[in-house]
Amino acid sequence: MVGGGEGAFIGAVHRRALRLDGTCTLVCGAFSSDPSAAREFGANLGVDAARAYGSWQEMLEIEASLPDSERMEAVSVVTPNHLHLPIATAALHAGFHVVSDKPATISLSEARELATAVEKSGRCYVLTHTYLGYPMVREARRLVQEGVLGRVRKVYVEYTQGWLVDRLEKENKQAAWRVDPARSGPSGCMGDIGSHAHNITEFITGARMETVRAWLQCVVEGRALDDDGAVFFKMSNGATGVLTASQICAGEENFLAIRVYGEKAGLIWNQEEPNTLMIKYADGQQKRVRAGVNMPLGATALDVSRTPSGHPEGYLGAFSTLYTDFAKMVRNNMHASPGPDEIGYTPGIDAALRGMAFIEAVVDSSNADGEWRDVVNVR
Amino acid sequence: MVGGGEGAFIGAVHRRALRLDGTCTLVCGAFSSDPSAAREFGANLGVDAARAYGSWQEMLEIEASLPDSERMEAVSVVTPNHLHLPIATAALHAGFHVVSDKPATISLSEARELATAVEKSGRCYVLTHTYLGYPMVREARRLVQEGVLGRVRKVYVEYTQGWLVDRLEKENKQAAWRVDPARSGPSGCMGDIGSHAHNITEFITGARMETVRAWLQCVVEGRALDDDGAVFFKMSNGATGVLTASQICAGEENFLAIRVYGEKAGLIWNQEEPNTLMIKYADGQQKRVRAGVNMPLGATALDVSRTPSGHPEGYLGAFSTLYTDFAKMVRNNMHASPGPDEIGYTPGIDAALRGMAFIEAVVDSSNADGEWRDVVNVR
Amino acid sequence: MVGGGEGAFIGAVHRRALRLDGTCTLVCGAFSSDPSAAREFGANLGVDAARAYGSWQEMLEIEASLPDSERMEAVSVVTPNHLHLPIATAALHAGFHVVSDKPATISLSEARELATAVEKSGRCYVLTHTYLGYPMVREARRLVQEGVLGRVRKVYVEYTQGWLVDRLEKENKQAAWRVDPARSGPSGCMGDIGSHAHNITEFITGARMETVRAWLQCVVEGRALDDDGAVFFKMSNGATGVLTASQICAGEENFLAIRVYGEKAGLIWNQEEPNTLMIKYADGQQKRVRAGVNMPLGATALDVSRTPSGHPEGYLGAFSTLYTDFAKMVRNNMHASPGPDEIGYTPGIDAALRGMAFIEAVVDSSNADGEWRDVVNVR
Amino acid sequence: MVGGGEGAFIGAVHRRALRLDGTCTLVCGAFSSDPSAAREFGANLGVDAARAYGSWQEMLEIEASLPDSERMEAVSVVTPNHLHLPIATAALHAGFHVVSDKPATISLSEARELATAVEKSGRCYVLTHTYLGYPMVREARRLVQEGVLGRVRKVYVEYTQGWLVDRLEKENKQAAWRVDPARSGPSGCMGDIGSHAHNITEFITGARMETVRAWLQCVVEGRALDDDGAVFFKMSNGATGVLTASQICAGEENFLAIRVYGEKAGLIWNQEEPNTLMIKYADGQQKRVRAGVNMPLGATALDVSRTPSGHPEGYLGAFSTLYTDFAKMVRNNMHASPGPDEIGYTPGIDAALRGMAFIEAVVDSSNADGEWRDVVNVR
C-alpha cells in the first residue's frame, strides 16, 4: 500500500476492505511521504518492520528484488490524485498488479499513459469505484440488461455531500488536497464525487455518456476548485439525463442516488440505504428488491453477497468486493475484469479512461459557459 | 364553477376542496362546453337545476342579474388553460371574484391582461398552486425566513410523473388538451408541473428565479409539446439550482420534491409524504418536523392545520386551504393574499405573472439551445 | 349533530368528514350540554339559528315535528361515551338514522340495548371506526380474502400515542372525560384506541378475536383508568396475535399499525403513512401497493379513492368515506352496511357489539390477573 | 475456531468479523465434527494444514503443547448450542480465551458451570450478541443513561423472521439443529432470537427483565420446538414491556426492533436500518440520530464506528466490533468487558447467565399456561 497514513481517510477503508473476505493480505507499505512517519505508521499497523518502507520507490525496489514467494503481489495506491500515475506506472513496470483509488489520474492524457502502461505490463488494474461493489447496483445493471425497464429514456443521478460547506481545507488534510488543483486535478467536486455518479450511470445503463453541458461552481468563497456542479447529458442509447454533484449541501452525508426510467418501468437506488432497490412499473405495480444471499436475485448480485436478507451489508462490504474481484483476476490471470461483457463488473482501465474523459469534458463545457461538449470515446 | 364536467380530473378536486372547511358552497356552474351535458352534469351534482347553466357566458349574465343576496360571489375556473383568460376576465368584469386553476393563462401577455383586469375590478383572484396549501410548505418558508438554514445557496427541485409514458393523449381527455399547444400553451410538462416546481421554490426561499438555462424535450414520439425538461437557474438571493420536471418517468406518481441548502442547514420536503419536513444541520444533527395542530410549528403552518399529528392530511386538505384563504380574502375585502409579506401565502396574480414569465423564459431558452434567459421581473 | 362544541376535537372532524364528498349536509345541532353555548356555537357554524338547539332532547322533539322534506334525516353523536346510548336510542326511536362515534356505548349490555333499538327502528346505524375508511385497509382485507397470504397465522396490531404521558386530564377537556370511568366506560386506553386495533384486526382478517389474555396498566400515577395495555389473543381462524395499545408512549403521534402473516406472505400497514401497503412474500419478493384511483387495486379500494396515486389522501378522507357509505345506506334503505359479506365494510351495530364485548373481556381478564377470557360472540 | 464448516451460516460470519479490523487472525480450527471434512475445509480456508484439526479435542491438545509464541490465543465456538459448554470449558481449562456464539449453553445450570470455569480460568469470555456491536445501540444506551428519555416506563421489543415458515428443517442443516431440543436447548425461536431481544433490552435500558409471562407456540405442525412467542415483562427499573419473537412471519427478514419510552421521550431503532436512531420527544420534536465517525455522538458509539456518516456500516461491522472488543480485553488482560459499568458493552459471562435465566423463565411460564415467573437474578 502506498499512502493511507496518519490523518488519511481512505487508507483505513482500503485496509479493512482487503481483509474482510480473506482474499488479500497487507504485507508491506509506504504509508506516508515522510519516511520516518511511514515506517512508524507501518509498524503500528503490524506490518513486518522491514517492510514498512520509507518511500514507495524504496518499496518497489526492495520488493521487486525479493523471491517470488516472498514479495508482494500487488500495490494499492491510496495517495492524493496527482501521485496515482507515477506510482501506478512504476508498480506496473516493476511487475506488480495495481489497485488504485479514483480518479485514476489528474488528466485524460495521464490516463492514456496509464492505459499504455497497463497494457504493456500485462498486469491487472482495478480502480476503486466502490459503489459498483454493491449487490443491488449489480442487480440494477442486470435488470436493465434483461429489459425489465424497456428502452431506457431518462436518468437522474446525484451525489450530494455537506462536508465542504465551510472552508474546511484550512484545517483538514483530506479537504486540503481535494481542493488543490495541483494535487486533485482540474476539478474538485466533479472529480471527487461527480466521477462516481458518472461511473455508476454508465455501469447500470450499460451505455456511454456521450455529450455533456456542465455548470461548475465554486460556492464557498476563496476555494480554488469547484465544490458544486450540474450536468445535462446525452447517452449512447438515446437516453438523456441530469447529473448533480455538490459538496456544499449542508447536512447531507454521502447521498449518491440514481433513478433510471425506461418505457416500462423505473428503478431507484440510493447508497445510504444500499440493500433496497425499488422498481416502479408504468402500470402502478411497485417491487422492492432486497439484498441477501437467500433472495431471488441474479447471479451477479448473489456472487457478491455475504449475508442473508435483513443482515445489512454496507460500504465496507462493497469496497471489499472490489478487492476480492481483484484477487480473482490476479489468481486467474484475467487482465480484464471478471464480468461477462464490454464494461465489466469491476472497474478497470476502461473506467479510468472514461472517468477522466468525463471530467475533462465537464470542465471544458463549464469553462465555455455551458456549451455542449463530447466526452472523448476512449474505446 | 366553469368546467370540471364528465371526464375531468381537477373539477372534482376543486369541488371537494371548496367543501371541506365549510367556507365555500357550490351554488351554480357551467360544467361543460356542451350545453346539455353541462346542464345534466350540474343536476347530477345537486346544483339547483335553474343554475346548472349551458355556458359560462350564460352563467355570468344570469348570475350578475340576480339580487346580491342570491347571486354567486365567485367563479372557479377549471377549464383547459386557453380558456382561463377569457372566463376570468369576463367574471372579474361582471364583478365576481375568481379562483383559477394554473397556469393562469397561456402566455405572459395574457397574464398581464389578466393582471390589469384584476386590478381594475378590485376583486380577489387566487391561482390554485395547490402545494402552497400544505402546512409543511408554509413551515419551510418560515424556517428559511427565520434564518434556520443561514444564507440559501442551493436548491434542487423536481416534479416527476409517469402518466404520459405512452401516447395516452390518443384516448385520454386529460392528456389530450395538455399536449395540445392551442389549449395548453407553449409548454406541456414545464407548464403543467414545472410551473409548480417554480412556484414552490420562490415561495419557500422568498426569492425570485431570475435567470434560466433550459432543456425541454419531447421524449414520446409524435407528441406536440415537451413531456420532459430540466432547468439550471440563478436566484435573486444569489442561490443557484436545478429544476427538473418530467411526465415520462415510468412508475412515478406525483413526485414533487424540494431541497434547499443554506450555509448552516438543509431542508427536504416531498409532496408524497407531505406531513414530514427534514432539517439536516451542518453539524450532523437532524430534525424531523411533523405536521399537526399540536406540534411545535409556526403560526403560518398551524393556521392551516386541521388534525393532530399522526392523523395525516393530504392533497385535498392543501387544496382546501387555498379555498379557505380565498374565502377569507373575499370576506375581509382583501385584494391581496392574507400573508404578511411580499409574496404572500396564497398564490394570486403575482404568482400568475411570475409563473407565465418563467414558462416563457424556459421555452425561449430551450429554443435557443440552452442560452441563459432572464425571467421577466413582473413586479 | 349532538356534541362537538367548543374545545371538542372529534366534532370538527365529523363536520369536515360529512362535507368532503358532498353527500351529507349539517342542518342542525345541539353542540354543547350548556344550552346557550350550544346555540351560540351553532350560530357560529352557520347553522340556521332556529335549528341551533339548546339540548339534544329539544333537537329531537322539534325536528321530529317538522315535515319530512324539512327535517334532518340523521343524527351524528359525537359526545363523550356515556351519552352515546341515550342519544342514539332516542334518535332511532324518533325515526332518525344514527352515526355514532366509538366506542358505541360504555358496556356490552348497553350495546345490546342499542342493537335492539336499531333493529326495532329499522334505521341505519354507523359507528365511526375511521380507519376502515382507508382504501388500503379495504385492499388489505381483499388480499387476505383472496388468499394472497395463504392461511393467516399471526397478527401483530398496535396503537400507540403519547398525548397522555402526563396528567393532561387536569387541564384538557378531551383528556378529562377519557380517563373518567363515569363518562368513558370501564377502560381508558383500551376502550379509546385498543378498540380500533381490535376492529381493524377483525376487519382485515375476516375472523373474530375469540379469546384474550390482557394486561392493563395505569402508568401515570393518579389516573383512574388504564393508559396502557397489551393483549394476547386467539382468533376464530386459528391465528394468534398480540395487540398493544398505549397512550403514554412519549413522542408517538397516532401510530396504529397492523401486520398479518400467513403461510405464503405477510402484509404490513400503518396509519401514519396510509397510502402504502407492503406485501412480503415467503420467497423474498416484496410488493409495495399504493393507493390511487389509477392503481391496480380491487374495487373495494377504488370505490373509496378520490385522487390519483401520489396525491395523498389522509385521515379526513377515511372519515369522510364512512359518512358517504352511511349516505348510501340511507338513500338505498340498506339497514346493513353496503359491503358484500358478513362483517361488511362500514362498521355498524355488529362492530358496536363486538367492540364492547372485546373491551369487557379485556378488562375482565386483566382484573383476573391475566386469565384467558372469551370474547362473547355476539352474533 | 470450532465448527463453522460446510453448510454452516454463522462460521463464515465469524471469520469475516474477526478479520475486518485486523485485530484477530484465524490460525487454526476444527471446522466439522467429521475429521476429514474438518481438515479439508480448514485447508480450503487457507489455514496451515497442520493446524486444520480433525476434532476440537485434538486442537486443544496440540495447540496447548505449542510454545507460547506459536499457539493460538483464543477459541471461537460456533457449533450448535449443545456443544458450547463442553468446548468452552475445555478451552478455558486449557488456558485459552473464548468467544462463543449464543445462546451460551442449553440450560441455566450449564451456564453456571460455564461461569465457574471462566472465573477459575482467569480467561476472557465473550458471547456474540452481535447487535450490541452496533454504534447506534451503544448510543441508545448512553442516551437512556444520560436521562434523555427521563424515567423509562415502557419497552416494545421484537424479533421477527420468516425463514421457518415451512418445515425447512427437513432439508436445511441450519434449521435442523435449531428445532432439535437435544442440540438447541429447551426453546427454539425464543432461544435463538428472543434471547437477542432480551439482551438488547437489558443493554439499552441498563435494567433487568425481572418477571415474565410467556406464550410460546409451535405454529408449523410437526416441529419439536417453539417457532413463535410473546412475553409480557416487568423490569427492575419499574418499566414494563412486551417482547415478541417469531420465525414464521412469512416474508420478514431479520427484523429486530426496539422502542423505549420514558417520561420525556421515546427512542426507536431497528436492525435492518441500523445507522439511524429516532428520538421522539413528548413536546413533538423529533431527532434523527445518524451513525458516523464525524457525527455528534457519544464516545461509546464513536469508538466502534469506522466510516463517516452516509457510508453505511452493517451486520458484519457490528459483529467485528465484538471481536475487536475481545482482542482489547485479551491484550489488556481485562477479564470483564471494556465497558465502564455493571453490564458493560461487550456481552460476556453475565449476559450468558442472564440469557439462559430468561430462556428458562420463559419456557417455564409458558408451560404453566402463562403464569408469571421470575427470571433468576444471577448476580
Report pLDDT digits (tens) over B23-53: 999 999 999 999 999 999 999 998 999 999 9
Nearest to C339 by CA among C352, C354, C326: C326
Across the interface, whether the CB atoms of A286 and C283 are under 8 A apart is answered no
Whether B379 and chain D come into contact, CB under 8 Å, resolves to no
Question: What pLDDT was estimated at residue D342?
Answer: 45
Of D288, D295, D296, the CB nearest to B288: D288
**How far is A136 from A290, CA to CA, in rounded Å?**
8
Tell me: pLDDT of B342 over 50.
no
Cβ distance B285 to D283 less than 8 Å, yes or no, reads no
Task: Tell me the nearest-neighbour CA distance from A265 into chain B, angstroms.
Answer: 5
Distance CA D329, CA D24 (A): 12
Mean pLDDT of A292-308: 95
C115 CB within 8 Å of a chain A CB: no
Name the one residue in this structure whose C-alpha cell is 396502557.
C228
Name the percent of chain B lying above pLDDT 90.
88
pTM: 0.96
Residues 259-288 of B with CB under 8 A from A: 259, 261-266, 279-282, 284, 286
Given an 8 Å threshold on Cβ–Cβ distance, is D312 in contact with A308? no
Contact partners, residue A134, CB within 8 Å, separation at least 6: A271, A274, A317, A318, A321
> B289 to chain C, minimum CA–CA distance in Å?
12
Q: For A76-90, B162-176, D129-143, D305-319, which range has the lowest pLDDT when averaged over its residues?
A: B162-176
**D253 to A292: CB separation less than 8 angstroms, yes or no:** yes
Alpha-carbon distance B349 to C125, whole Å? 48
Interface test with B, best of D143, D276, D288 (most B CBs within 10 A): D288
Would you give per-residue pLDDT tens digits along chain C (379 residues)? 999 998 778 899 999 999 999 999 999 999 999 999 999 999 999 899 999 999 999 999 999 999 999 999 999 999 999 999 999 999 999 999 999 999 999 999 999 999 999 999 999 999 999 999 999 999 999 999 999 999 999 999 999 999 999 988 888 888 888 888 898 899 999 999 999 999 999 999 999 999 999 999 999 999 999 999 999 999 999 999 999 999 999 999 999 999 999 999 999 999 999 999 999 999 999 999 999 999 999 999 999 999 999 999 999 999 999 999 999 999 988 776 665 554 467 899 999 999 999 999 999 999 999 999 999 988 6
Give tens-digit pLDDT for A54-104.
Answer: 999 999 999 999 999 999 999 999 999 999 999 999 999 999 999 999 999
Question: Looking at beta carbons, which residues of chain C come within 8 Å of A291?
Answer: none
Is residue D98 predicted with pLDDT exceeding 70?
A: yes
Residue B341 has pLDDT above 60, yes or no: no
* Best mutation target, C148, C217, C221, C232, to test chain D (most D CBs within 10 A): C232
Q: Which of C162, C345, C161, C158 is nearest to C233 (CA)?
A: C158
Name the minimum distance, in Å, from the CA of B211 to any CA of chain C: 30
Q: How many Å lie between the alpha carbon of C303 and the closest alpha carbon of chain B?
A: 15
Per-residue pLDDT tens over the stretch A132-155: 999 999 999 999 999 999 999 999
Q: Min CA distance, D285 vs chain B (Å)?
A: 7
Q: At residue A341, does pLDDT exceed 60?
A: no
Pull the grid cell for residue B232: 439550471
Q: Is D72 at the interface with chain C, CB within 8 A?
A: no
Q: How many CB atoms lie within 10 A of CB A302?
A: 17
Contact in structure between C37 and C6 (CB atoms under 8 Å): yes
Instruction: Give the mean pLDDT of B220-245.
Output: 97
Q: Do A46 and D22 touch (CB under 8 A)?
A: yes
Contacting chains of A (3 CB pairs or more, <8 Å) are: B, C, D
Q: H or E stretch including D241?
A: strand D240-246
Residue D284 has pLDDT above 70, yes or no: yes
- Examine the pLDDT at D336 and tell me if it is beyond 70: no
CA proximity to C70, closest of C90, C48, C91, C87: C48
Question: Taking a contact as any Cβ pair under 8 Å apart, which residues of chain D between 298 and 337 contact chain B?
Answer: 309
C287 to A292: CB separation less than 8 angstroms, yes or no: no
- Our CA-based measurement puts residue C202 at a distance from the nearest CA of chain B, in whole angstroms, of 22
**Beta strands C255-262 and C152-160: pairing type?**
antiparallel
| Interface touch D244/C242, C-beta < 8 Å | yes
Closest CA to D176 of D191, D160, D188, D186: D188
**DSSP letters spanning D175-218:** HHHHT-HHHH-S-SHIIIIIHHHHHHHHHHH-S-EEEEEEEEE-
Write the pLDDT tens digit of every residue in B54-76. Answer: 999 999 999 999 999 999 999 99
Distances (CA, A) of B375 to B227, B353, C142: 21, 11, 52
Residue C102, pLDDT score: 94
Global ipTM: 0.95
The three cell numbers locating residue B161: 410523473
Report the SS3 class of residue B11.
Answer: helix
Taking residues D47-68, report their average pLDDT.
Answer: 96
Q: How far apart are CA B291 and CA B276, in angstroms?
A: 6
Model confidence pLDDT, tens digit, residues A301-339 = 999 999 999 999 999 999 999 999 999 999 988 776 665
pLDDT at residue A345 in the model: 78
Asked if the C-beta of A7 comes within 8 angstroms of chain D's C-beta atoms, the answer is no
CB C352 within 8 A of CB C200: no
CB contacts of C46 in chain B (<8 Å) are 22
pLDDT of D366 higher than 80: yes
3-state helix, strand, coil in chain D (%, to 5): 40, 20, 40
* pLDDT given at position C339: 58
Touching partners of C (3+ C-beta pairs < 8 Å) = A, B, D
Residue B378 has what pLDDT? 84
- Give chain D positions within 8 Å (CB) of B285: 287, 296
